Structure formats: C-alpha cells, structure tokens
A and B are shown apart, each in its own frame.
Chain A
C-alpha cells in the first residue's frame, strides 16, 4: 500500500469508526434486596410501567439531565429509542397524570450519591472503577 493509500485508509477508518461508547451499568441501593434485574424489569421501572423490585421494595428511578450523552446512550441501549421518542412517551404520561418521570440527578456523581443514599433508588452510570457504595444490578452492554 502506497503512503497515500495508507493515509486515505486511515482517514476512512477514522470517519467510519463508531464513536467510543460508555460502558453503562444500572446501579441500585445496596439494600434494594436484588442482585440482578432483567432488561424487562429495568424497562418497567424506568418507563414508569411498574416501579417495584422483585423483593417488593418500591423502586425510585433516577435519570441524568436532558440532552446528556449518557442519558441518550442509556435509552438507546435499553429500548432502542432516541431521546425525542422517550420525551414524547413521557409527555403522554406526565400531562395525563398517569405517573411521574424519574427524579433527575445533576450529573453522574450526584446520581451515585442519590442511589447510595436513597433506599429503593436505581440509576445508571459508567461502570464504577474499584469499590462503590452502590450495587450493579444490570449491564447494558448485553441488553440488546
């Protein structure tokens, strides 16, 4: 391969490569009474369909702020939907009073603090490195 072709190949590779995706995990309070959740259970909790852990403890989902890349990646991996579709879904539930959307954290650090400090809380973050105050209950990479 000539140097010019090598350069073009490298540029094409850079342009076509998928952007790096965060390794997202679903985290819960250590005393939520669950070790693992299924995708169906996580969907039910975050889409307001049924907010209870299999242990019987009420689940309180926590979301990241709107328009954050992690939030978009979470819903894309969980249900294959764009944020606009998720917002349209919530508009139907919120404006009808059927259920309330997840409580909102200000960022990933706040998310971990809220989950660690709220019994029944459940959220999502990039996979924590080392010891953590929260329990990983679902891995999104294997979700779909």
Chain B
C-alpha cells in the first residue's frame, strides 16, 4: 500500500490574500478599488442515537454520511461529534471601478472544515466581469452548480437544514476550474437566470470515495470536458431550476479499497492508471421546484445521472415542507437515492444501493444573521442483498449554530 498521507490543497498565498481582504469589515475603497469581506461559520455537534452496528468500510457504524463531497460521516463512536458539519469560511472581494458596482471584480473564498480535519481549502477564486446589467462573464475556480444549493452548500445560515439531504447532495466533484456566462433577464412575468459553463476538475483524495472505498482510502477523481448550464425561473413566490451537465469521469484508487473479509485495505484494488480508460461519459439532469408562499416553505429536487460508460444510472430526490412561525421554522424532509446497474457483471439492475432519509428540522433565528438548528435524521437502508458497502440504518440528532458576518 502506498503512503496515504493526504495531499495538501492549501495554497498559502491565496488563503492569506483571501483572509486579508476578508478581515476588512465593510466595504472600503482604496485607489479606485473597493474591498469587501464576509464570512460564515457553522458549529455543529451530532450524536448517533441508534442504528445497525458493525464495522463498515473502516467506519464504526451506525453511520450516516451527511457530506459526500467532503467525506463527512457521523459514526457510532460515543459522545458528540463536531467534525462532519462544522466549518469556517472567509470570502474577500476586490471590485475595480467607480463606486464598486459592476465592472471587474476578483473574489476568493477559503474554508476550513471539520470533515477534512480542519485543513483549509481554497474553494473559490474567480474573476468576474459585468458586461452590462444582463450579462456577466466569470472565470476561475468555482462551485459546480449541480444542485439547487450547491453554490452555498457550506453556508449553513443560507440553508433550511443543518446538512443538505445527502441523497441528492452526494457526488464526487463539487468544484471546477473554467469559465461561465451569467444571463439575467425578464421573460414576461418571469425573471430568469441562465448560467452556461465549461471547464474541468481534478480532485485528490475525494471525500466521496472514502465513503465507498474506506475511511482512510485515497481515491483521486478527474472530470474532463465539463459542459452544461442551469436555468432558474422565478415568479413571485415560486421558483423553478433546471440543470443539465455532461462530462467525462475517471478515478484512480491510490490506496486500495477496504476489504471487509480481512478488515484491511486490499492492495489488489489499487489503480495504477486512471480508470476507465478512455474516460467514461456522464450526463446529469436535475430539476428543483421551490415555493415560499406566505408562511409556507416547499423545497423539492429531482436528479437523474446517466453514466453509460460505467453502466450505472442514479436517481435521487427530496421533498420538504416547512412553516414559518415568526423566528421559528419547523420543516420535514423526505429524500431517497437508488442506483441501477445497467449490465455490470450481470448484476440485478435494481438490487443495488438504495436508501431513504426522513428528517425533521427546527430552525430558530437568533438575529438577522445567525440561527440555531436542531435536526433529526432517520436513514433506512434499502439496498439490494448483494450491495456493498452496506452501512445500514441510522438515527442521528444534530444541533448547529450558524452565522454569516
């Protein structure tokens, strides 16, 4: 087995630059440049209330993965667990031009998260040029907008949950390097935002693959030729979002996958080269329909991912209903995921990974920029008899304090 010391994704110069800009409270102008800084904090503690016990993929279960992109998993260890959802981020922007509005700007965002052992990652670093009030061109490192809340998956205060429904928000790449064009317009009574993007992503030590290959596994991920876009339509209290994206996808399992029989990492599963070769194609389709009608809150999202090169299809959805009582907001969510193997090794197409999560969340706004949330999740394992890794059922309680500044 190769040395699995995690590679550092920290770029000290960039993080220092972002932090320096972000510490400037409120916008300040200097030499025709407006600087602004902001940040966010989620301090969350979770406790596993019960579920199926056992050692799965080197995790002491019961287990509930709440952040696939970062490998955030609550497991069956006793006591409170602070890592999977807690994070601190700072964002700095420099806007060049009169008044700090429009024109050219540079934005960076660095995040330290418990799920990655507190290491700081540079999540965003992009330039933005506002061509006019309708069109904005951006280039650099950004969040891959696969899902409705992808852009703010780290900003707990902007979310109605402590953690996003993992059935939908669970994929191997969350960022990309590339270009995108934003187009804001008005179509009749509907305001619209179309975002077209192209780029690529290389991710070392994917958090997603730790969940499938083992807690200490290192699997690298490569997405090439990413192309697609998302369209958001809004009218009064209703909002619809559609996304389509395609790319190639490859992985390289550097450290081998967890072998349940020997309770160790199996060197026979180490990839010496990117697999599959040539890279497999995938197509991602998504739709979200949301409503904020008077005090009622509805969130729904449906995702279908077609990976013909890997012979897999993925289906996931979530549906939430909430109600606002002044500063209180209770909400119930049902989400599910299942995968179909198309032809792989003669496997039964519908006997693969499948599970549902039912969640109850109570949010209490403490002020205009901070909130407390209490969330209960109940995961039901519904995978086929041959599906591995089989994490089993789990019941989790999480409490979080969230702040934007």
Q: Are B186 and A50 in contact (CB under 8 A)?
A: yes
Question: In the assembled complex, which residues on chain B have CB atoms less than 8 Å from the CB atom of A50?
Answer: 184-186, 191-192
Residues from 151 to 169 in B contacting A, C-beta threshold 8 Å: 151-152, 154-155, 157-158
**B99 at interface (Cβ–Cβ under 8 A)?**
yes
Question: In the assembled complex, which residues on chain A have CB atoms less than 8 Å from the CB atom of B326?
Answer: 82
* Stretch from A15-23, A91-99, A122-130 that touches the partner: A91-99
Q: Are A87 and B369 in contact (CB under 8 A)?
A: yes
Q: Are A83 and B158 in contact (CB under 8 A)?
A: no
Residue interface bits B280-320, CB-to-A below 8 A is 1, else 0:
00000000000010100000000000000000000000000
Q: Are A94 and B182 in contact (CB under 8 A)?
A: no
Q: Are B40 and A97 in contact (CB under 8 A)?
A: no
Question: In the assembled complex, which residues on chain A have CB atoms less than 8 Å from the CB atom of B186?
Answer: 44, 50, 52
* Stretch from B112-120, B126-134, B374-382 that touches the partner: B126-134
Q: Measured between alpha carbons, how far is A80 from B292 in the docked complex, in Å?
A: 10
**B189 at interface (Cβ–Cβ under 8 A)?**
yes
**B53 at interface (Cβ–Cβ under 8 A)?**
no
Please tell me which one of the listed residues A51, A67, A96 contacts residue B133 in the complex, with CB atoms under 8 A apart: A51
Q: Are B189 and A91 in contact (CB under 8 A)?
A: no
Please tell me which one of the listed residues A40, A43, A44, A94 contacts residue B38 in the complex, with CB atoms under 8 A apart: A94
**B360 at interface (Cβ–Cβ under 8 A)?**
no
Q: Are A95 and B327 in contact (CB under 8 A)?
A: no
Q: Are B368 and A87 in contact (CB under 8 A)?
A: yes
Question: In the assembled complex, which residues on chain A have CB atoms less than 8 Å from the CB atom of B133?
Answer: 51-52, 58-59
Q: Measured between alpha carbons, how far is A17 from B297 in the docked complex, in Å?
A: 29
**B391 at interface (Cβ–Cβ under 8 A)?**
no
Given A50-B185, A91-B155, A96-B151, A84:B99 Cβ within 8 A: no
Of chain B, the residue at the smallest CB distance from A72 is B368
Of chain B, the residue at the smallest CB distance from A52 is B133
**B52 at interface (Cβ–Cβ under 8 A)?**
no
Question: In the assembled complex, which residues on chain A have CB atoms less than 8 Å from the CB atom of B151?
Answer: 92, 95-98
**A103 at interface (Cβ–Cβ under 8 A)?**
yes
Question: In the assembled complex, which residues on chain A have CB atoms less than 8 Å from the CB atom of B294?
Answer: 80
**B91 at interface (Cβ–Cβ under 8 A)?**
yes
Given A88-B157, A96-B152, A49:B234 Cβ within 8 A: yes
Please tell me which one of the listed residues B158, B184, B185 contacts residue A88 in the complex, with CB atoms under 8 A apart: B158
Residues from 86 to 135 in B contacting A, C-beta threshold 8 Å: 91, 99-101, 107, 109, 124, 126, 128, 132-134
How far is the CB of A45 from the nearest CB of chain B, in Å?
10
Question: In the assembled complex, which residues on chain B have CB atoms less than 8 Å from the CB atom of A82?
Answer: 324, 326-327, 365
Question: In the assembled complex, which residues on chain B have CB atoms less than 8 Å from the CB atom of A107?
Answer: none
Question: In the assembled complex, which residues on chain B have CB atoms less than 8 Å from the CB atom of A91?
Answer: 40, 152, 155, 157-158, 404
Q: Measured between alpha carbons, how far is A58 from B102 in the docked complex, in Å?
A: 11
Give B residues with C-beta under 8 Å from A: 38, 40, 91, 99-101, 107, 109, 124, 126, 128, 132-134, 138, 142-143, 145, 149, 151-152, 154-155, 157-158, 182, 184-186, 189, 191-193, 195, 234-236, 292, 294, 324, 326-327, 365, 367-369, 371, 404
12 more CB-based (< 8 A) A-B contacts, given A84-B327, A84-B368, A89-B158: A43-B236, A49-B184, A66-B368, A67-B368, A84-B369, A91-B155, A91-B158, A92-B151, A92-B158, A95-B151, A96-B145, A100-B101
